[in-house]
Structure 1
Amino acid sequence: MRDYGKISPKFWTGNTGREIRKAGQEAQLVALYLMTCPGANMLGVYYLPAPHVAHATGSTPEGALKVLRSLAAIGFCTYDEGSEWVWVHEMAAYQVGEQLKPTDNRAKGAEKEWLGFPKLPFLSAFYERYKDALFLPERHDIAPPSEAPSKPLRSQEQEQEQEQEQEQENNSKVEPVGSTALDSPVDSKPGTSKNGSTPNRYADDIHRVFGHWQRVMRHPQAKLDGKRISRIRDRLKDGYTADQLIAAVDGCTRSPHHMGENDRSTRYDDIELICRDAKHVDQFLRLADAPDLTGMSAAARRTATAAQKWLSSEESGNAH
């Protein structure tokens, strides 16, 4: 059970909040309950039978279900009556944050919650909404993003910027990784060659590593071209696992220099660089276990680096 839940003032002043107010006090009460009930979690996706709502709000199960339907029509939530699971659309944005860093422990918590959800009709829409903000991995047991509901969900903040939201939605409609990118160097269908006869042992891992890099580095428009395929495949052939290459990508995010804190203010984060050779992979793998120095002042960075070196020397001495 959570100790507390966050509620934004926009609940009362935003477009969605005003629509809820028009629906009546019972709708406002149930909406508040959805955000604060004991069974809720930080992602706003949880099991909620209508009788539970009725008991907590003093309504009847039929009345609670009617209000849930009205809140869904407004765009505040999605309620699947078959499974009795609810998704409060903007709850994760308020409880967790609009954008996390890949090294944030909350991202790990969000991933754990996400992977634990049963197969639900609205999971594709949830994934599209939060995959980049919370660094959620793909799930193969739900419909791919291309089959997700195309109608955008209204929210307390997004409704005030509908034009900007529509523009961002259009920009995000990029070709899914793996649809044509591997047609030449590696077949786009995992496990087969282009002619369909020769198994390709690296295709799945290449997709996985590249997809993680796209999410972590926030390059959704990046293409999996021949050079990037070749770099990732070569390192897999060297004996590195996909998990190690993914860790190397995460390590790159911990390097201030590679994240743009340099004299040119330029990011050096391409997957080609990370997987250029074994030396680069090893370098970034070491950074994956180092403190995250991005965003620190020069003095704080020197202190953290010195502390890390001291700890390393202590561990090395104890080993002998």
Structure 2
Amino acid sequence: MSRYRKVEVRTWSDRKFRALSPIPPCGQGLWLHLLTGPHTGPIPGLFRAGRAAIAEELGWDQEAFDKAFQEVFDQGMAEADFGARLVWLPKAIESNKPESPNVVKSWAAEWAILPECPLKARAYEALCEALKSFGDSYLKAFTESCEKPDVKPSPKPSGKAMANQEQEQEQEQEQEQDFGSTDPVEPSGSTASNHPKIPPVSQGRTDKPPANRYADDIHRVFQHWQRVMQHPQAKLDDKRMSRIRDRLKDGYTASDLIAAVDGCTRSPHHMGENDRATRYDDIELICRDAKHVDQFLRLADAPDMTGMSAAARRTATAAQQWLEEEGGNAH
């Protein structure tokens, strides 16, 4: 019997799963979420995510998340550069071996959008070592498809330092917006770091949210859409970014929009079974307005028809539409 079990990423956005009692703040719960959550991508254990975004996804406050992450970090199970919003699970590739060198080549698009930082450079070296153990063809596929980061790998940071990185970055961004200055000042008594620090902004400011308030969620939704719809070369242009941001401002969570993307995959019409044989699967369409999001969220809870024949799917779709119309007439 296999030692491994498959867990669908969409589990975290499933309506029934989300209706269950939530996971309390703890190291084990965080580890399972880091390993299988909607932020994960094709590269085992390496993904873009921020502290606030992960904490919000789990429904934890920031202090509880930091404590749980410290537990995971202390066990050597995860590292992060929260300033760059990059998380790495060093041992993930050992239980998620790519099936072939071609799978490794397919990592190229995801690798290109991961933020450049010393942690990415360390992950590159570790992945090279792991892939070499699988065979020279795996290593060759990686080094030829994924460019080596142009930064030096850094020593393993402390968990506390990682938790502070994102806070420092946000403080710098707000300070620049408030005072129009990009000349940082090193506070007295500070320890050495990779970049200078500036005085923190007042904790009492509430009149303007951080400029990157939705950045993590926008990237999570877009990257999920790229993977699910198989558009690895698609660009997050201003129009797509604006649509996703607008829906987040409407009150939808990133998990809601990820579920809406999944719902679109369950619509034969949008996946190309229409008179024009054209797919209507752009994230701009899915997030065009609240009505579209709600429609695709309903489809996410509908039966999965991807395993049916085209004729059976058309019949099932027609029956589903009839039931919805009859239900509407009954009211």
- Give the alignment's TM-score, normalised by structure 1: 0.46
- Give the alignment's TM-score, normalised by structure 2: 0.45
User: Rg bigger for which structure?
Assistant: 1
